[in-house]
A = this chain, B = another copy of it.
Amino acid sequence: MDTKTMPGKAPAAASQDAGAITAPTQFIKTKLETYAYRRFGSGAAPPLICLQHFTGTLDNWDPAVTDPLARGREVILFESAGLGRSTGDVPTTVSGMAAHFLAFADALGLTRMDLLGFSLGGMVAQQAALERPSLVRKMLLVGTAPEGGEDIMHLEKPELRKILEDPTLAGYQVLVKLFFTASASSQAAGQAFVMRLAARTEDREPASGPKVAQAQVAAFRAWERVDGERFAKLRRITQPGLVVNGVFDNMIPVRNSYFLAEHLPNAMLLAYPDAGHGSLFQYHESFVQQAKLFLDS
Which positions in A face B, CB cutoff 8 Å?
247-248, 254-255, 258, 261-262, 264-274, 286, 289, 293
Contacts and interface: CB of A to CB of B under 8 A. Distances in A.
B268 A274 contact: no
Tell me what chain A mostly uses at the interface: helix, strand, loop, or mixed.
mixed
Contacts of A274: 265-266
User: How many copies of this chain does one complex carry?
Assistant: 2
Contacts of A293: 289
Contacts of A262: 247-248, 254
Nearest to A263: B247
B289 A269 contact: no
B261 A271 contact: yes
A264 B272 CA distance: 11
Nearest to A269: B271
A232 B265 CA distance: 34
A284 to B, nearest CB: 14
A70 to B, nearest CB: 22
A268 B245 CA distance: 10
What 7 A-B pairs are tightest by C-beta distance, nearest first? A269-B271, A247-B262, A261-B271, A266-B273, A247-B261, A267-B273, A270-B270
Contacts of A248: 262
Given A265-B274, A268-B272, A268-B286, 18 more contacts: A247-B261, A247-B262, A247-B269, A248-B262, A254-B258, A255-B258, A258-B271, A261-B271, A261-B273, A264-B273, A265-B273, A267-B273, A268-B270, A268-B271, A268-B273, A269-B269, A270-B270, A289-B293
